[in-house]
Amino acid sequence: MSTRLRIGIVVDTLDKLENWEIKLLRTILDHREFDLRAVVSTGAAETQKTSFLVRLIDKAEQHVFVKQLQYPTQPFGNQRYRIPTPKRIGRDGMIGLEVDVVVRLNAKALPKECLDQVEFGEWALDFVDKKAKGYDWTGFWEVQAREALTVVQLIARKSTQNEPIIIATASYNTKYSAALNGAFIKEKSVLLLLRELRRLAETRTHPTTTVIPPANIRTSPRLLDSVAYLGQLSRNIVEKLAIRTRAKLGLNARSWGVYLGDGSIESFAPDKAVPLKLAAGMWAADPFLFRWQEKDYIFFECFPDNSKNAWISVACLSGNDVEFLGTCLRTSYHLSYPFVFNDGTDIYMIPETHQTDRVEIWRCTQFPLRWELHSTALEGKSPADTTMFKVKGKWWLLTSLSDHHTFMDHSSELYAFSVDGPALKTVIPHKRNPVIIGSDVARNGGRVHILGDRILRPSQCNSHGIYGYGLNIQEITKLDEEEYLEETIKLIRPDFMVGIVGCHHIDTLGNRFVIDLCKSK
């Protein structure tokens, strides 16, 4: 008997696969723990009617806003990426196909006769049911209602259960266009499905699940819905154009700055923080505090404007007064998020360097202005906002990787790695990577704090269509080679100070904290 997870795929047809479907199939075919045993064609489902205006809007948006690069399909013809010949479902169901789980990519659910033969049932991302003839409305309602997040659920149906169950859920920052929003969450949610399939392949048990409660399920948009949507889309576009126009004219509608206050990572009041004058005429963001030889320093990103790469500067703190010391790290590529830490007497910095497609650790040779490249890891990846910490004698590295084809996004997944320390000679991916999925909680928003047995991780809350909307404090409740679990214990929204529209980073030192805030002019 094969130890690999035997997977069946259900489609309308293989002739017109979307990018996210191709990405899913290629990964399944390439994964040593998966065996794509069968492709089943159920024929097109009877879809809901929709208005001509809705379809027209979608086609226009696909052309103007999405512009996806077609995922390569040619490898499907060779031996490595060979897809089984599709089989039709008959009255006898799927007898002889011998699959452990079925992944449904179309809007036509399997009949009970088929489910009876599949141990782990039929799995589907909930947006596959949002289809009408020639159109699907994935992402439409969230944009029309201007919802902060677009939620995706991975749902399972088993013959032994009367109701569908939720296996996993993820939330993504809602985009300004329905077509863009739909394309984005489809590409990103493939990782959610693949992670749970890997878990199933290893454990051979159905995950702990929640029965879907009765709900008012949104249907296909009608004519009046599309008219209301056009109004919201117009407002979204006008807002974006106004911000871009002001930026081109040198009248930035928004600017980031660093604020200082008293409080710990558990109890800080951002409304009591005062602004620091760190770099004249420049934005300052991603502040990190560091104490060395009884003096406190603040390292931060200097961001001149959208036409130049940022660099890292440093200042010395004395009470609420700052002394600017200068630029400590500048390269030909963008730098931000200067996470500074020490291992004994050695001082290191891990700046955000996603443009180099690797993690870089720099070692200080003359504090605080001179640094040299010490080690690198995750070559060929695209990591952002990387943090390291040591707990119970073991080093962990947390970062956000952009696993993208069309969309460069570092805000939706958090990856964990077991490492040997700043040398990065050993980098072992966590078994459950990405350990956190969701733009509202995934990306790091500061260093990890160890408070006795508690591990607190600041994270960004990217929602409401805004990067850097808010800030979370997450408590990591379980971290080992087998599992990673955390929960949100605090959410900071940008409503505590007049003119604030974003906050996405915090660091603390003793009873002092620094936070970056985005102000609207």
Q: How far apart are alpha carbons 325 and 312 in whole angstroms?
A: 11
Instruction: Please tell me the distance from the alpha carbon of residue 463 to that of residue 108, in angstroms, as a whole number.
Output: 32
pLDDT tens digits, 380-417: 999 999 999 999 999 999 999 987 667 889 999 999 99
Other CB atoms within 10 Å distance of the CB of residue 244: 12
Express each pLDDT in 126-141 by its tens digit: 999 888 777 888 999 9
Burial of 243 (0-12, 13-18, 19+ CB in 10 A): middle
Quote the CA–CA distance of 314 and 38 in Å, as a whole number. 58
For 363, which DSSP code?
A: E
Give the pLDDT score at 198. Answer: 96
Count of Cβ atoms closer than 10 Å to residue 289 Cβ = 21
- pLDDT tens digit string along 412-442? 999 999 999 999 999 999 999 999 999 999 9
Whole-number Å distance between alpha carbons of 260 and 244 = 30
Q: Which string of DSSP letters, residue by residue, matches 140-164?
A: HHHHHTT-SEEEEEEEEE-TT-SS-
Query: What pLDDT, on a 0 to 100 scale, did the predictor assign at position 80?
Result: 59
The tokens of 422 are what?
A: 């700043």
List, for residues 11-35, the tens digit of each pLDDT value: 887 878 888 998 899 899 989 999 9
Is-contact 2 35, C-beta < 8 A?
Answer: yes
The pair of three-digit structure tokens given for residue 314, joined into one six-digit string: 């440093």
What is the average pLDDT value for the chain, to the nearest integer?
89
Model confidence at 1, pLDDT cuts 50, 70, 90, reads very low
Exposed, middle or buried, 314 (CB in 10 Å: 0-12/13-18/19+)? buried
Residues 6+ apart with CB under 8 A from 32: 4
Q: How many C-alpha atoms does 502 have within 13 Å on its Cβ side? A: 24
Give residue limits of the domains in the chain. 5-72+87-243, 252-520
Residue type, 433: N
Q: Please, are residues 391 and 450 in contact by the beta-carbon 8 Å criterion?
A: yes
C-alpha to C-alpha distances, 397 to 130, 195, 300, nearest whole angstrom? 38, 19, 21
Dihedral over alpha carbons 432, 434, 436, 438 (to 10 degrees): -140
Give the pLDDT confidence score for residue 91 in this predicted structure. Answer: 52
Look at residue 243 in the predicted model and tell me its pLDDT. Answer: 80
pLDDT at position 34: 96
Token duo for residue 403: 């696993």
Q: How confident is the model at residue 78 (pLDDT cuts 50, 70, 90)?
A: low
DSSP state of 293: T
Contact 107/47 with Cβ under 8 angstroms? yes
| pLDDT value, residue 50 | 78
Other CB atoms closer than 10 Å to residue 351's CB: what's the count? 28
Q: Residue 413 carries which side chain, given as an amino acid letter?
A: E
Q: pTM to 2 decimals?
A: 0.94
Domain 252-520 sits in CATH 3.50.50.60:
no
CATH of domain 5-72+87-243: 3.40.50.12230
Q: Which residues of 198-219 are buried (b: 16+ CB within 10 A; e: fewer)?
A: bbbbeeeebeebeeeeeeeeee
DSSP string, 446-506: S--EEETTEEEEEEEEEETTEEEEEEEEEEEEEESSS-EEEEEEEEE-S-SSTTEEEEEEE
CA angle 279, 285, 287 (to 5 degrees): 95
Instruction: Give the separation between CA 20 and CA 182, rounded to whole angstroms.
Output: 11
Residue with tokens 């808010």: 470
On whether the CB atoms of residues 497 and 271 are closer than 8 A, the answer is yes
- Within 27-112, strands assigned E span 34-41, 87-88, 101-104
More confident residue, 51 or 285: 285
| 101-104 and 5-11 strand pairing | parallel
